Structure 1
Amino acid sequence: MRLASLLSLATLASIGIAKTPGCGRDIPSKYPKAGSSESLSLPDSDREYRLFIPANYDKNTPTPVYFSFHGASRDMVEEEDLSQFSNPEFNPNGIAIYPNSKNGYWLSSPSADKSRPNDLDFIDDLLTHMEETLCIDTSRVYSAGKSNGGGFTSVIACNATVGSRFAAFAAVSGAWYDTADMKGVGPCAPAKRDQGYPFLEFHGTVDTTAPIDGEDDAKLPVIDVLQTWAAQNGCGDNAQPTSNETIFDDPLVKHASWDCNGLKGIVQHYRENGNGHCWPMPVGQV
């Protein structure tokens, strides 16, 4: 996934730059130096994450932040390598954070630890910690994830407390489950905000891990998720895309977009013909 896709979507949610308590402070000694990444633990907890700070980080300049959530049975190190959010070619200016799940699964998955770890509190606390220690632009905090991590991104967006702190949400090959009755998740009830909830999803047509059309009663069809977010943004139930066009012929890639409540392209989807359970990359890149 190209960060440009998420950024273009996120412009719909811009609410103005707001400095955090970490502005003006030197990078903490335990953090990675600018231009590198490091695995860390959230203070006073057993939760881990990996942090990347861009080479051009300025302690006096509010900086965007990208959260990137790994898939089921994966981890933060693999997600950093997969998403390339620490690669200055794709992300020259933003802080990247790769949280680690408990036992390999995020809260949105039925396979998450039976103790139901409070991943939402973890992300809320982690973002607060980042704001206290680094100079962050609170209007440009984004959430993205692969597979189970993509499903968890939607869970974050649905939470009025944590979701309201993020500007936009993106999922790659999302594994979508009905979480309304899941302990620790509940029905989707995002906080109301004028700028809406920008939501972006990429999916391959031959994905057998998280099939694009769903899987029995286990995984939801992608269209159901997209229509849910269109409804949350004011389009009404079962709204059809405002536009649906072919943007690439070989392989065939289609782009669907929903305009809702005066917000153009607030929900978007890229359907990749022939792609499986993978993270899309620019044409010509392996």
Structure 2
Amino acid sequence: MVFVPAQPTPPATGERTLPVSFAGDQYAVTVYIPAGAQPTLPLPAIVNLHGSQSTGSAQLRYSDMKKAADINSFLVLAPSAAIPAASGFAWNVPGVGTPPPGARDDIAFLDRVITTATTSLCLDPARIYGAGYSGGGRMMSAYACRRANRVAAIAAVAGLRAGRPDPASCAPARPVPVITFHGRQDATNPYAGGGSRYWVYSTPAAQRRWAWLNGCTSGPRTTTISTHVTRTTYTACRDGADVVLHTVADGGHTWPGTPIDNGNGTVTTEINANALMWQFFQRFTSGSAG
């Protein structure tokens, strides 16, 4: 008889939920495990936060991130906020308005999501990245300000912020690499600033603030990369933590490259946010860059 050693059981790939206990409640966090994941090979992960009035599972679909996860072998964590908003939920972003009584502390909640996923799934804690759309972009910006050592880099789509309302309110423990995408025709979070009280300053101002926080000494440098898209970069930053903005001249309040039209303006197909953010993320691990 030939002895054949037992093989590790492959993890259950595809979309599932991960139970996360926090402050006496349990939350079902949407998780996507890419095809081909191995039980003993730690994967990088992207925490992908939905916009206001949405949910984690809806954000996974809207961002079309499953496809990118399969191609690039990363895991996606897509938690839901807890403040009821229309048919979904809104994040309790620090410094934004007055949260309802008893509102969940979403900075601490995201801490728990990452900790639970790291202990329950085969993740590489040095390669956990943050992303978010609209209100989720504002939430991830705030999380990076307060928990810079937990995310190696962040990406915000139509929602980058850098403190409320000035850089002094954002004091990350280390430089945070940032990539962001924003349409000039965004009527929800206007590119030029203004709009709702939680928005106020422009997207380029938010980029400049992160460049200042990261100690960047070169830039801004703007290049045209397609008919309607320019890329503005700040470089020579501490620990290589560059700050990159993709401006979409005809873009609405939308996620570049998604096949889903959310009714909030033009969706550009000239770039793909998932591909570009992953290309950017791969340069960084927590506590080191470049």
TM-score above 0.5:
yes
Q: Secondary structure at the match of 2:66?
A: coil
Look up the equivalent residue of 1:190 and give its one-letter code. P
How far residue 92 of structure 1 moved from its aligned partner, in angstroms, is 4.0
Residue number in structure 1 paired with 2:91: 106
SS at match of 1:189: coil
Identity %: 26
Higher relative contact order (CA 8 A, sep 6+): 1
Partner secondary structure for residue 58 of structure 1: coil
Match of 1:60 in 2: 40
Give the whole-Å Cα distance in 1 for the aligned partners of 2:16 and 2:110: 18
Match of 1:234 among 200, 215, 220: 215
Secondary structure (helix, strand or coil) at the match of 1:155 reads helix
Question: With structure 1 as the length reference, what TM-score do the two structures score?
Answer: 0.76
Assess if the C-alpha contact under 8 Å between 1:248 and 1:254 holds in 2.
yes
1:175, distance to aligned residue in structure 2 (A): 6.3
Q: Which amino acid aligns with 1:41?
A: P
Residue 245 of structure 2 is aligned to residue 258 of structure 1? no
Range with bigger deviation, 109-118 or 271-280:
109-118
| Counterparts of 1:284 and 1:244, CA distance in 2 | 16
Give the Cα separation in 2 of the matches to 1:180 and 1:41.
35
Structure 1 letter corresponding to 2:245: H
2:106 pairs with 1:128: no
1:274 paired with 2:254, answer no
Whether 2:150 is the aligned partner of 1:174: answer: no
Indicate yes or no: 2:172 matched with 1:190.
yes
1:72 match: 52
> Of 111, 119, 133, which aligns to 2:106?
119
Task: Answer whether contact 1:169 1:200 (CA < 8 A) is retained.
Answer: yes
Q: Which residue of 2 aligns with 1:212?
A: 191
> Aligned residue for 1:21?
none
CA displacement, residues 110-141 of structure 1 (integer Å, 9 cap, x when unaligned): 37544342101111111111111122112211
How much has 1:155 moved relative to structure 2? 0.4
Q: Does 1:39 align with 2:7?
A: no
Letter in 1 for 2:209: T
CA shift for structure 1 position 89: 7.0
**Aligned mates of 1:129, 1:140 — CA distance in 2:** 15
Cα contact 2:49–2:79 (8 A) shared by 1? yes
Unaligned runs of 5+ in 2: 1-6, 84-88, 258-268, 273-290
Cα separation, partners in 2 of 1:83 and 1:253, compared to 1, 3 Å: same
TM-score (norm 2): 0.75
Q: Structure 1: which 5+ runs fail to align? A: 1-23
Q: Distance in 1 between matches of 2:67 and 2:115?
A: 25
The alignment of Structure 1 onto Structure 2 pairs a total of residues equal to 243
Task: Summarize the Cα distance change of 1:188–1:96 in structure 2 as closer, same or farther, 3 Å threshold.
Answer: same
Task: Tell me which residue corresponds to 2:278.
Answer: none
**Aligned pair 1:143/2:130, yes or no?**
yes
Deviation at 1:26, TM superposition (A): 6.2
**Using the alignment, how far apart are the partners of 2:240 and 2:232 within structure 1?**
12
CA contact (8 A) 1:258 1:264 kept: no
